[in-house]
Amino acid sequence: MKFKRTIVWTVVITLWFLFTMYQLKEGFNGAVVIPNPYLVIKSFINILKNGYASHTLLQHAGASFGRLFTAILIAVLTAIPLGLLCGYVKKIETVVSTIVEFIRPLPPLAYYTIIILATQIGNTSKVILLFIAAFAPMYIACVQAVKQVRKDYILSSQTLGANGIQIFRNVVLPSALPNIFTGIRTAIGVAYTTLVSAEMVAAKSGLGYMILYAYNVFQTEVVFVGIILIGISAVLLDDLLKFTEKKLVFWKGQA
Amino acid sequence: MKKIIEINNISVDYDLEDDQEPAINNVSLDINENEFVCILGPSGCGKSTLLKAIAGFVKPFKGNVLMNGVEIIGPDKLRGVVFQEPNLFPWYNVFQNVAIGPKLGKTSKIEINRIVDKYLAQVELLEFKNAKVFELSGGQKQRVAIARTLANNPEVILMDEPFGALDSFTRQKMQTMIRELWNKNNATIFFVTHDIDEALSLATKIYVMRSGEKSIVMDYDLNYTFRLLKNPKERVYEEKEFILLKDEIISLLEE
Ligand SMILES: Nc1ncnc2c1ncn2[C@@H]1O[C@H](COP(=O)(O)OP(=O)(O)O)[C@@H](O)[C@H]1O
Ligand SMILES: [Mg+2]
């Protein structure tokens, strides 16, 4: 797995290098559409040293990850309990799912304006946007998780004397763990894709903001730095979750 | 002999709306303390349905099932169940699986340890105490499932073709083991099987169920199990009486 991924990346970077090696063609308004790797690395080191758009790189990254993690944490704390509850109680599920199913396919920018009007342009609006994006995948995964619990596990625990709460603790929650992890991973993915949108409007820092700023001044190499940083952090975060899942849900695929 | 379970003329239908015949029809029988009752019949005749009605997993639309004179309305810890497919919880190890019942009953730690050790020793799996359940063989899993049920000390143990998925060699060993466990623990067992030899060699009482009637058509009192208890190697299978009884049951089931 790791080995294969290394090969893919080696090939991609080599191709990138080859295609941009003799790059003379100038893009739109003199900017290079695809800067070569050397340019991107140079730009990265420069930003690392001197910052960009009146913030250090660490401040940009910190702002973005701060928003992301706050939003994901709030989503974990709300969507998972609510999803698990809705898996149990059909009536509540009907109410919540109807709303979630409506909001889920909406493009975030469509309701972003409303959020900004309600909360002003500070950090809160961005966190809320990311939270909404992260909520649905976690919620849906948890509802499904409860519905998919093996009936004979529940019956078994009842014959062993378990009451409602004990069934939840001993059977439903552990059964749901694999789905919960999938939900969290999907949610993080969706939140990431919303990050740039969230930092598009009235932001002063963040990796998304940095990308948009660079785009406005035609510094595509900075755009690339931003994209690569977001991409790498997403892959690493997903790896961390996969690793945690493997440790925590050690029985997955075994029984 | 104390009567534990009393089944009064029950009929069970999984879906009263459809045109299908009920899964079982007008079944009556008693289970007395320390009996080893075998329900014998071909697949589809309603054996599992009868067991589920006793366990409290399904409700008869006619008649009732009483336990110690009280109507059974759902699963509880007075009736332990061993399923055909072992359904140990994969997120718990062997010890934790066997400990579920005592733990739910708020037994002290020392007492839980004592109980688990006792029953794991009885099923000869003490050295697998800390093993993950998905590392065990089919027969070992079923032994843990039996220990889990015994550890909860139910008044009657319901077993639905517990050895049906095992190879014939393991099956034989398990039959000897369950007979000894029944005797040692003064247990009362209700055992479903489609294997005539298994029923004849284990039961103190056999009820024969037929597909046509979806009901019990004959019952036999037996003592082979006591003789095999004294000497598991005794060749009761070769006795004339045994063979004749077997033939009688076969012709009964062929009708
Ligand atoms: N969950 C179920 N839903 C609907 N019909 C069922 C269900 N379980 C069993 N049946 C039907 O009830 C009848 C008896 O089945 P079962 O009790 O499983 O028989 P056995 O255990 O003797 O093989 C069969 O006709 C079967 O198709
Ligand atoms: Mg069956």
The percentage of chain A sitting over the pLDDT mark of 70, rounded to a whole number, equals: 95
For all residues of chain A together, what is the average pLDDT? Answer: 90
Q: Which of A152, A161, A166 sits opposite B87 (nearest CB)?
A: A152
Residue B241 counted as domain residue: yes
Is B144 exposed, middle or buried (CB count within 10 Å of its CB: 0-12, 13-18, 19+)? buried
Instruction: Band the pLDDT of A29: cuts 50, 70, 90.
Output: very low
Among A151, A170, A173, smallest CA distance to A161 is for A170
Q: Which of B55, B91, B101 sits opposite A160 (nearest CB)?
A: B101
pLDDT beyond 80 at B147: yes
Ligand 1 binding pocket includes B20 (Cβ within 6 Å):
no
Considering the domain architecture, whether residues B109 and B46 belong to the same structural domain is answered as no
Write the pLDDT tens digit of every residue in B73-83: 999 999 999 99
Q: How far is A170 from chain B (nearest CA, A)?
A: 9
Considering the domain architecture, whether residues B137 and B165 belong to the same structural domain is answered as no
Q: Provide, as residue numbers in chain A, all residues whose Cβ is less than 8 Å from the Cβ of B76.
A: 158-159, 161
Q: Are A156 and B81 in contact (CB under 8 A)?
A: yes
In ligand 1, which atom is closest to the CA atom of B43?
Answer: 23
Q: Which ligand is nearest to the CA of B20?
A: 1
- Within chain A, where are the H helices? 2-21, 37-50, 57-88, 90-103, 108-119, 123-147, 151-159, 164-167, 173-198, 207-216, 220-248
Last residue of a domain, one of B153, B179, B202: B153
Name the DSSP class of A52. Answer: B
Chain A: residue nearest B75 by CA?
Answer: A159
Q: What is the pLDDT of residue B17?
A: 84
State whether A160 and B77 contact (CB < 8 Å).
Answer: yes
Q: Work out the angle between the directed axes of helices A173-198 and A108-119 (0-180°, nearest 10).
A: 80
Q: What is the CA(A151)–ligand 1 centre distance, in A? A: 16
Q: How far is A146 from chain B (nearest CA, A)?
A: 16
Ligand 1 binding pocket includes B42 (Cβ within 6 Å):
no
Considering the domain architecture, whether residues B121 and B195 belong to the same structural domain is answered as no
Write the pLDDT tens digit of every residue in A33-91: 788 888 899 999 999 999 999 999 999 999 999 999 999 999 999 999 999 999 989 99
What's the total number of domains in chain B? 2
Considering the domain architecture, whether residues B169 and B248 belong to the same structural domain is answered as yes
Residue B224 counted as domain residue: yes
State whether A152 and B148 contact (CB < 8 Å).
Answer: no
Chain B: residue nearest A250 by CA?
Answer: B91
Last residue of a domain, one of B153, B168, B188: B153
Considering the domain architecture, whether residues B119 and B236 belong to the same structural domain is answered as no
Write the pLDDT tens digit of every residue in A119-159: 877 888 899 999 999 999 999 999 999 999 999 999 999 99
Write the pLDDT tens digit of every residue in A105-124: 988 888 888 888 888 778 88
Instruction: Band the pLDDT of B44: cuts 50, 70, 90.
Output: very high
Q: What is the pLDDT of residue A255?
A: 65
Considering the domain architecture, whether residues B56 and B174 belong to the same structural domain is answered as yes
pLDDT beyond 50 at A28: no
Q: Are B118 and B98 in contact (CB under 8 A)?
A: no
Q: Domains in chain A and their CATH numbers? A: 64-203 (1.10.3720.10)
What's the predicted TM-score (pTM) here? 0.88
The whole-angstrom separation of Cα A76 and Cα A142 is 11
Ligand 1 binding pocket includes B194 (Cβ within 6 Å):
no
Considering the domain architecture, whether residues B141 and B159 belong to the same structural domain is answered as no
Residue B12 counted as domain residue: no
The whole-angstrom separation of Cα B232 and Cα B179 is 10
Chain B: residue nearest A177 by CA?
Answer: B91
Ligand 1 binding pocket includes B49 (Cβ within 6 Å):
yes
Q: What is the pLDDT of residue A18?
A: 83
* Helices and strands, number each (H, E), in chain B: 8, 10
The whole-angstrom separation of Cα B210 and Cα B44 is 9
pLDDT beyond 80 at A30: no
The whole-angstrom separation of Cα B203 and Cα A120 is 77
Q: How far is A167 from chain B (nearest CA, A)?
A: 10
State whether B104 and A251 contact (CB < 8 Å).
Answer: no
The percentage of chain A sitting over the pLDDT mark of 90, rounded to a whole number, equals: 67
Residue B11 counted as domain residue: no
Considering the domain architecture, whether residues B247 and B133 belong to the same structural domain is answered as no
Q: What is the pLDDT of residue B6?
A: 97
pLDDT beyond 90 at A200: no
Residue B6 counted as domain residue: no
Q: Which chain residues have CB less than 5 Å from ligand 2, an ion?
A: B 48
Residue B15 counted as domain residue: no
A positions 118-157 inside 8 Å of B (CB) = 150, 152-153, 155-157
Considering the domain architecture, whether residues B102 and B56 belong to the same structural domain is answered as no
Interface probe, candidates A152, A154, A160, chain B, greatest B C-beta count within 10 A: A160
Q: Which ligand is nearest to the CA of B50?
A: 1
Write the pLDDT tens digit of every residue in B80-139: 999 998 899 999 999 999 999 999 998 899 999 999 999 999 999 999 999 999 999 999
Q: What is the CA(B52)–ligand 1 centre distance, in A? A: 10
Range of the domain at B246: 34-61+72-78+155-255
Considering the domain architecture, whether residues B53 and B41 belong to the same structural domain is answered as yes
Over residues A177-192, the mean pLDDT reads 94
Considering the domain architecture, whether residues B133 and B186 belong to the same structural domain is answered as no
Q: How far is A85 from chain B (nearest CA, A)?
A: 22
Q: What is the pLDDT of residue B18?
A: 83
Considering the domain architecture, whether residues B133 and B101 belong to the same structural domain is answered as yes
Last residue of a domain, one of B102, B133, B153: B153
Residue B10 counted as domain residue: no
Ligand 1 binding pocket includes B215 (Cβ within 6 Å):
no
Any idea what the CATH number is for the domain that residue B42 is in? Answer: 3.40.50.300
Residue B204 counted as domain residue: yes
pLDDT beyond 50 at B220: yes
Q: Provide, as residue numbers in chain B, all residues whose Cβ is less than 8 Å from the Cβ of A153.
A: 87, 89
Tell me the two tokens of residue A137.
Answer: 């995948």
Give, using CA atoms, the residue closest to atom 13 of ligand 1.
B23
Q: Are B36 and B205 in contact (CB under 8 A)?
A: yes
